[in-house]
Amino acid sequence: MQQALKKADELLTQVKLPSLPQEVIQIQEELNKRYPNTVTIANLIAHHPELLNSFLDLINSSITHIDEPIHDARSAVNLLGLDELYNIFLASVFCERIAQNDEEREILQHGAMAGIAAAELSYWVEGITRSEAYLAGLTQNVGAIYMARLDQAYMHFFHDQLSKPWTAYEAELKHYGTAHTFVGTLVAKKWHIDPDIYKAILLHHDRQFTTKTVGHDKARKLIALILVANYVVGVTLGEHFITSELKAYRDTGMEVITPPDIAITAATAAVIKWGKSATLVSASH
C-alpha cells in the first residue's frame, strides 16, 4: 500500500490540484471556534453566486429531507446542523470546481448518483448522516479524474469497474502500480476531507476492507454504503452492468449495513428521480 501511495504522489506532481477555495477554509476556521458565528458562515456561503446556487440545489434535492425549499444561505444555516451544512457546501464546491470536460463530468456524475443512493440508504445506518454518505459516494472516484488527465486510455479502467469493481480495479493497480483510490486519498487529504471519508475512498475496491477498518466503525459503514450504492447506480444504468461480481460486491457491503429491501427500493427511486437532474447542476452553470 505504501508503494502505491508513493506512486500516486509521484503522478500527482504532473497535474495541478485545485486548492480549497478561501471560503471553505474560512468556514473551517469558523467551525473550529468555540462558538461559531452562523451569520459569518452564511455570508461566506453566499459570497460566490455560483457556489451558492450549487449549494442550494443540493440542499433542495434528495440530500436533505427539508419540507420546504430553501432559497438563501441564512435559512440553510438555521435549518441544518453545522456539520451537515459544511459537508453539503464542500460537496457543492467539489461539483463546481473539479470536472473540466465530458469524461471528468461522467466520472463525477456517477459519484453524484452513488452519493444520492448512499444518502438514502444512510437512513437505515446508525451513526452516518445523509451528508456524510453523499460526500463519500460523490468523492469515491475523484482520483479517477486525475488518472484520466494523466492517461487518455484510463477511462477503459473506469468503465470496466462499473460492472467488475474488484477484478477491473486489480487490473488498474497492476497496470499503473497505483490506482485512483490512492490518488483520490491524497486529493481528499489536501482538501481536508474527513479521515473516515478518505478511508472510504481508499478502500472501496478492497475485498478485505472490513479487516482493514477494525476500530474505524464509521469508515467501514461508509465503505459498505458505497458498495451498495454503486450497485444501485448499476441497476439504474442498465442490466448489462449487473454482473455476478457486482452482486457479490453489493452483498459484501450489505453484510455490514444490513439494509432492508425497502432501503434498496428507496435508494433506486431516489437515483432515478434526482440522478440526472439535481446532482451536477453546476455543470450547466
The single residue listed with the C-alpha cell 477484478 is 167
| Per-residue pLDDT at 40 exceeds 60 | yes
- Give yes or no: residues 85 and 132 share one domain: no
Which tops the pLDDT comparison, 93 or 222?
222
* Mean pLDDT lowest among 39-53, 152-166, 208-222: 39-53
Of the candidates 57, 72, 97, which is a domain's last residue?
97
* Mean pLDDT lowest among 91-95, 238-242, 276-280: 276-280
- Give yes or no: residues 65 and 105 share one domain: no
pLDDT band at 62 (very low <50, low <70, confident <90, very high): low
| Per-residue pLDDT at 210 exceeds 90 | yes
Compute φ and ψ for 280, nearest 5 degrees: -120, 45
d(Cα 194, Cα 60) in Å, to the nearest integer?
Answer: 24
How high is the pLDDT of residue 171? 97
Over residues 182-199, mean pLDDT = 93
Q: Which domain holds residue 217?
A: 2-17+101-284
- Give yes or no: residues 9 and 28 share one domain: no
Which tops the pLDDT comparison, 64 or 196?
196
Compute φ and ψ for 275, nearest 5 degrees: -60, -35
d(Cα 191, Cα 143) in Å, to the nearest integer?
Answer: 13
Nine-digit cell string for 9: 504522489
Compute φ and ψ for 180, nearest 5 degrees: -60, -25
Of the candidates 32, 67, 97, which is a domain's last residue?
97
- Give yes or no: residues 6 and 26 share one domain: no
- Give yes or no: residues 118 and 43 share one domain: no
Over residues 22-36, mean pLDDT = 88
Residue 255 CB-density burial (10 A; 0-12 exposed, 13-18 middle, 19+ buried): exposed
| Per-residue pLDDT at 55 exceeds 90 | no
d(Cα 250, Cα 48) in Å, to the nearest integer?
Answer: 39
How high is the pLDDT of residue 283? 36
How high is the pLDDT of residue 278? 45
Task: Enumerate residues 6+ apart whose C-beta is below 8 A from 113.
Answer: 137, 233, 236, 271, 275, 279
- Give yes or no: residues 90 and 107 share one domain: no
How high is the pLDDT of residue 266? 93
CA dihedral for 98, 104, 105, 111, sign (positive or negative): negative
Over residues 134-144, mean pLDDT = 94
- Give yes or no: residues 31 and 133 share one domain: no
How high is the pLDDT of residue 277? 53
- Give yes or no: residues 168 and 218 share one domain: yes
pLDDT band at 176 (very low <50, low <70, confident <90, very high): very high
Nine-digit cell string for 215: 476500530
| DSSP string for residues in 68-121 | S---SHHHHHHHS-HHHHHHHHHHHHHHHHS--SHHHHHHHHHHHHHHHHHHHH
pTM as predicted: 0.89
Reduced to 3 states (helix: H, G, I; strand: E, B; else coil), residue 195 is: helix
The mean pLDDT of the chain is: 89
pLDDT band at 276 (very low <50, low <70, confident <90, very high): low
- Give yes or no: residues 93 and 117 share one domain: no
| Per-residue pLDDT at 281 exceeds 50 | no
- Give yes or no: residues 168 and 234 share one domain: yes
Residue 244 to residues 35, 167, 223, 240, 249, Cα–Cα distance (Å): 51, 12, 19, 11, 9
Nine-digit cell string for 28: 473551517
Over residues 17-24, mean pLDDT = 80
| Tally of structural domains, the chain | 2
HSE, side-chain direction, 13 A CA sphere, residue 53: 10
- Give yes or no: residues 64 and 175 share one domain: no
The single residue listed with the C-alpha cell 420546504 is 68
CATH number at residue 178: 1.10.3210.10
The single residue listed with the C-alpha cell 473539479 is 98
Q: Are 109 and 282 a contacting pair, CB within 8 Å? A: no
Torsion of CA 202, 229, 131, 136, to 10 degrees: 10
Torsion of CA 129, 135, 140, 143, to 10 degrees: -150
- Give yes or no: residues 55 and 180 share one domain: no
What are 73-90's pLDDT values in tens digits? 888 888 888 888 888 888
Nine-digit cell string for 247: 452482486
Of the candidates 66, 97, 128, which is a domain's last residue?
97
